[in-house]
Amino acid sequence: MTAVAILCDGVTVVEGRVAGHDARATLVRRLQRLFPGAALVGPRAQRAEGFAVVPLALVDPRTTVVINMDVVSSPAVWRTLAAGGAEPRIANFVWWNTSQFTHPVQRASLALACALFPTFANSERTATEVREIVAALTVPSLAEGARIDWSNLGIRLGHVQPREEPAVPVVLYPAIRLSERKQPRLFLDVVERVRRRTPIRVEMRLEEAHLISEDAIRLSRKDWAWVGPLTATREDYYYRLARTTAFLATARDESYGLEYVEAMVAGAVGVFPDRPWARALLPAGYPLLYADPASAEHLLLRAVTDPAGCRAELDAVAGGDFVGWLRRHHDDTQFEERFSAALARWFPED
């Protein structure tokens, strides 16, 4: 296939490898596995382990497809690559929630970028949102020609480790940021109420910038809570998930929900808000959806006092095997196959 370069601001290379365990860095590494030898667009040229870091101005548009994870910049990327006279080949990768773009200029820029360049989304829900934004904010001739494909991101099933039930139930904060969209105050209020009724241990692993936030400090003062940095490796991350009893999701919206799927496949019982993004992840009839804080408290209490009973209910709505259902619907090989096929279709080799 044609060479690939990945553009994603904020990703750093340390000791020859893409550093970090946030979604941005993790997805860049997934794309590098999918497209072996793919370059990373960066501020200065350097060699790394199995790939090169290349400034955008040095990317050859005649031989390279640029996968742009910073989608709104695609028109500017096109102008840089087109300066030499060749026709740039750019594919957008929408891996985040479109609701983060609230300003009219941001949303219009997103619409234009996705109308002009083929776009791959991280879920059907995100793809639908992109189509709606393009249709609403661009002229019909652009909207009708938009090329948009999608696949659920899925997870690497090989990372999952055998379960080991903790002596005291562990409740996970299923995010690495305390952004307003995640509603961390709701999480804190609910787990505090549950803790008054039964022993639990709460774990919160956060990006460094969020460790010093007011909410993180508030929770860290509790003797039944642990607040700390992200785990050092994926193996450590899945080791902790295999010893997690339940999690409480409180986000208003999600583009996909990778952290939730990883935790559920590892055996954690998920309590979700009754919102479209959550229902899109789960089998029909999922029983642990809450409508308000009181029902969230009730369901989380059930999850930590009777996790085996909750798992039996989940099995019942998923044809007898809830984790098996998740594995079939959220296997990252489907994402890899569909993304590769989309790029081959959009940019056929000469």
User: How high is the pLDDT of residue 106?
Assistant: 96
**Domain range spanning residue 293?**
157-329
Could you give the CA distance from residue 22 to residue 15 in angstroms, rounded to a whole number?
18
Q: Where are the alpha helices (DSSP H) in 168-292?
A: 184-197, 214-220, 234-241, 258-265, 276-281
Instruction: Kindly state whether residues 112 and 183 are assigned to the same domain.
Output: no
Q: Specify whether the CB–CB gap between 173 and 241 falls below 8 A.
A: no
pLDDT digits (tens, 9 = 90+) for 87-112: 999 999 999 999 889 999 999 999 99
- For 98, the 3-state DSSP assignment is helix
- For 43, the 3-state DSSP assignment is coil
- Look at 22 and 259; give whichever has higher pLDDT: 259
Instruction: Kindly state whether residues 166 and 309 are assigned to the same domain.
Output: yes
- What the block records as the tokens of 188 is 């804190």
Q: Within 10 A of 309 (CB to CB), how many other CB atoms are there?
A: 12
Could you give the CA distance from residue 349 to residue 244 in angstroms, rounded to a whole number?
47
The CATH number covering residue 291 comes to 3.40.50.2000
Neighbour order of strands in the sheet with 170-172? 225-229, 201-206, 170-172, 246-248, 269-273, 289-290
User: How high is the pLDDT of residue 349?
Assistant: 83
Number of domains the chain is built from: 2
Instruction: Kindly state whether residues 28 and 45 are assigned to the same domain.
Output: yes
pLDDT digits (tens, 9 = 90+) for 6-65: 999 988 898 899 987 778 888 999 999 999 999 999 999 999 999 999 999 999 999 999
The CATH number covering residue 12 comes to 3.40.50
Nearest alpha-carbon partner for 303 in 318, 286, 327, 326: 286
Length of the chain: 350
Give mean pLDDT, residues 111-121: 98
Q: What sign has the CA pseudo-torsion 18, 23, 29, 32?
A: negative
Q: For tokens 């941005």, what's the residue?
A: 24
Instruction: Kindly state whether residues 119 and 227 are assigned to the same domain.
Output: no
* pLDDT > 70? residue 1: no
Instruction: Kindly state whether residues 150 and 224 are assigned to the same domain.
Output: no
Nearest alpha-carbon partner for 127 in 104, 153, 155: 153
Instruction: Kindly state whether residues 114 and 9 are assigned to the same domain.
Output: yes
Instruction: Kindly state whether residues 141 and 56 are assigned to the same domain.
Output: yes
* pLDDT > 80? residue 4: yes
Angle at Cα 90 formed by Cα 85 and Cα 91, nearest 5°? 170
Give mean pLDDT, residues 212-231: 92
User: At residue 114, what is the residue type?
Assistant: C
Give mean pLDDT, residues 271-296: 97
Instruction: Kindly state whether residues 337 and 189 are assigned to the same domain.
Output: no
Q: What's the mean pLDDT when you consider all of the chain?
A: 94
